[in-house]
Structure 1
């Protein structure tokens, strides 16, 4: 090939990819990843470690579990409140572990792997403590109704630390199965780091799965805050998929095959409905030769078709600015989780040498799927009509009135005196920026018209959650992986032209 033609091809290629390169340069994804992980340190409950980086937080809830002689003082506060909900907490651990499994190299290159492992371990340790017998799992610490009547720092809280648990006589399959998934996925993360701890996680995961499967009953202990709408079959499949991946035990593959009929096409991946995650996980097994898992692969394709703009079977609309809009309450939780699945599934398709997904008459290539997922990440980080980052502490413009008790009240370090239940209301209603920046927190996001009011009282759009951030960690790691591939391709093409 002549040098002139090579130069022309290079110019054309650079024109095609230049928007991507310019945007990548404008957004520091490594910084965003580090901040998304840092968020979890601000959500910690219990005695904080010496290497705690979020210094406006202090020790809290040190006696959680005391009335029943169990140690439940660790784990994470769920959102902007001071309650520990075990079911969504376990989902957060599962998502963080999935990110670590899929994108270990990119996270390590960004110097965040150790911090991510610490975040996973903090949540996994709580689950281990909460699983006190083969048929007992503590699923909630705190009276959510009483807590939500107060606005106080976790270091000061004096609301009842009520304990909820599931047992063989009062089961909650969703919570037990999600806990099993969390520990199984975490066991993979720690397999090469701490084999003894990894084995413990796997053993307890197997016990939790047996409990969830043998004593079936839908979990209602955290209603009306976390109610099961999709049933428990998705959590059982999700747990079995992770246990098979972690152990290779045919018992879990047989469970999956025997329950394959429970899989169905869905349009969201959330703390309540895990099927899209199940389908993405098991599609990898399908491409590895287990073709009897084809139902999961087909349903994973349907998930893509339900989200992609231009698809004839699209079910989730986008805002005028291009953001997926599933529902108004904390919509970004569905955006971050959908993006994570789209990234991982496109990676699986590439590995299986499949060019993309056919949605009716429209074919979406894996690069188109990734580009759409990346557009969602970019929207969250500031590429949106308001030019606002929806990650606190990232960029030059971000939410200042996060709906978060600890962040909105002066730190115990600067204001050591107790601030009681009603005393905090003055900070709740003040209408000024929070005194503490909860770096990395993803808020609920804008409305369906891309509009956003930075008002603390609007919890649907201003409150963070652990699972929203956990999925963002996976999505950001995927963008870094994509950037690495893009950089390598550019470098290789440059070498060929020399």
Structure 2
């Protein structure tokens, strides 16, 4: 994510500096704010399960206290009884507990339920959850759209904003705010990181339109089509405005420094705490997703008849002009002068969308080039190489986007040899993720990742872990990873339908991959060691309010749980440890979290 360069943001930067200094001087990193594992608990998705989805709870008992069975109740009636499955010893987040798995996937009945476990000492009861058809769509889609609408930026001052380094003023009104704690608008976060760049505003436009394309009947049935289309068009109108006459998009519109609060078309280098004129968005800096979003907006405007300030035809014209520009100048705009995996999957999505609508051969050729690059980046082990230095691809936000880019590309590709190579890439990646998750005890089935950074605080070797390493190239991007988990859930389902298909399985994929996909959403919705549902307004326990995190909105998703604060490699665990001015790191809602949940929800419902 990113810090807004405001007074609040200055305090955040000071906090980061202190944390980094403490960590650098600490010879023994500590596990901060660990969950209470010495008391018996049932960890469960507090919101819902689809009828056909995998369904399970994690039961934690103190060492010495045992149980063998669990019961599922609907109201006061026993619906199902099953055996608890003992899990391997798990000490990653603290000792003194034993973990069990309660699997009740066989329940297909609709209604409200709860799980009960009896031990010789006590009776445990879970929170109540719902089972129903299209559960996440029916329960959360409207709130998601309302969240995006609430995040609209409508300040009229953005109709005339100066471009940094010039006396030129432009209309950059519209768009959505990045988060609850600042007034920034971004196509991408942390472009100066090169390998950790995450997609923002355009990604939301694209995701909304993609969701409608896949679930149009449900949106129509729930009378949500108009509201969703209006958000897509709101996003597309903004993208038109931030497309410069020269053919590039502006990466950011941000508030000024503490000394000068002028709002600018600019960029912010968090590494060096300075504003820059490097605001031209490369493919990986939101340019690719902006092109794809405009194509999707063209399609949905024509399909629904919803139109904004600009025409559907204008959106497609913008997309083609911007793509031609980046094909020629992308290397000029990337911060380190080299393309990497993020350019590849962003440009692939853009080219795929353009070919899908226009059927122009040049876009298929461009898509094949980028797909070839991605396929070539896949190792025999199953992880992607980010660059020429054999750095594994890992990401705190868009971890599933390379696979989704390849899945969408396969829909336009007819060459059997290329198709086979692409399917192999998807299969290797998904198999590697499943293997990575089982290399260590992992009772929550939380998505692990392989990482390597160039920072001196972290050993320059390839490692594995549950959370983002704190010692990454920007030293800041270790907020919770709700978006990463949702992105991997969507990738597992859409990719799995191609390479791990099972027409009788949940989400039409095999059981292991379906359980992985469900587990990531379960974690977001409360099946985590802190029993917090990050989806605000849903579940029993929601994130606390925090002044530093800004406004909390129903349908918004908090960043979430992280590795322990002082651990450079992201090991251990912590959540909202306080004080209030620090809690933005875990509690703050970001556009990308709800955007990725929207895509995961779409994949689980389709």
What TM-score results when the alignment is normalised by the length of structure 1? 0.69
Q: Give the unaligned 5+ runs of structure 2.
A: 1-79, 82-102, 114-128, 189-199, 268-275, 379-383, 385-392, 448-465, 469-477, 564-571
| 296, 309, 312: which one aligns with 1:198 | 312
The secondary structure found in structure 2 opposite 1:164 is strand
Q: CA RMSD in A?
A: 4.0
| 459, 462, 470: which one aligns with 2:584 | 459
Q: Does 1:478 align with 2:603?
A: yes
Q: CA distance change for structure 1 residues 212 and 283 in 2, over 3 Å: closer, same or farther?
A: same
Report what 1:422 is aligned to. none
Deviations 1:53-102 (A, max 9, x none): xxxxxx77554459633211211111231111123212222222222222
Q: CA distance change for structure 1 residues 369 and 15 in 2, over 3 Å: closer, same or farther?
A: closer
2:233–2:306 Cα contact (<8 Å) kept: no
Structure having the higher helix fraction is 1
Deviations 1:347-406 (A, max 9, x none): 4558x88899xxxxxxx9435423321222122122334332111122231012256665
Q: Does 1:71 align with 2:166?
A: no
Deviations 1:140-167 (A, max 9, x none): 11146x3xx69xxxxxxx8221113899
Report what 2:557 is aligned to. 442
Structure 2 counterparts to residues 339-354 of structure 1, below 5 A: 339-348=489-498
Alpha-carbon distance in 2 for matches of 1:338, 1:178: 18
Aligned length: 404
The secondary structure found in structure 1 opposite 2:249 is strand
Q: CA distance change for structure 1 residues 187 and 367 in 2, over 3 Å: closer, same or farther?
A: farther
Alpha-carbon distance in 1 for matches of 2:346, 2:574: 35
The secondary structure found in structure 2 opposite 1:398 is coil
CA drift at 1:279: 1.2
| 17, 40, 50: which one aligns with 2:106 | 17
Report what 1:275 is aligned to. 402
1:228–1:272 Cα contact (<8 Å) kept: no
1:389–1:398 Cα contact (<8 Å) kept: yes
Alpha-carbon distance in 1 for matches of 2:553, 2:583: 17
Deviations 1:202-239 (A, max 9, x none): 22111111011011226468x9xxx9974523322221
Report what 2:594 is aligned to. 469
Report what 1:418 is aligned to. none
1:95–1:470 Cα contact (<8 Å) kept: yes
Q: CA distance change for structure 1 residues 114 and 365 in 2, over 3 Å: closer, same or farther?
A: same
1:184–1:202 Cα contact (<8 Å) kept: yes
What TM-score results when the alignment is normalised by the length of structure 2? 0.58
Deviations 1:429-451 (A, max 9, x none): xxxxxxxx411111111235665
Comparing 385-394 with 323-332, which one deviates more in the overlay?
Answer: 323-332
Q: CA distance change for structure 1 residues 32 and 343 in 2, over 3 Å: closer, same or farther?
A: same
The secondary structure found in structure 2 opposite 1:137 is coil
1:187–1:246 Cα contact (<8 Å) kept: no
| 441, 446, 459: which one aligns with 1:323 | 446
Alpha-carbon distance in 2 for matches of 1:273, 1:347: 15
Q: CA distance change for structure 1 residues 469 and 252 in 2, over 3 Å: closer, same or farther?
A: same
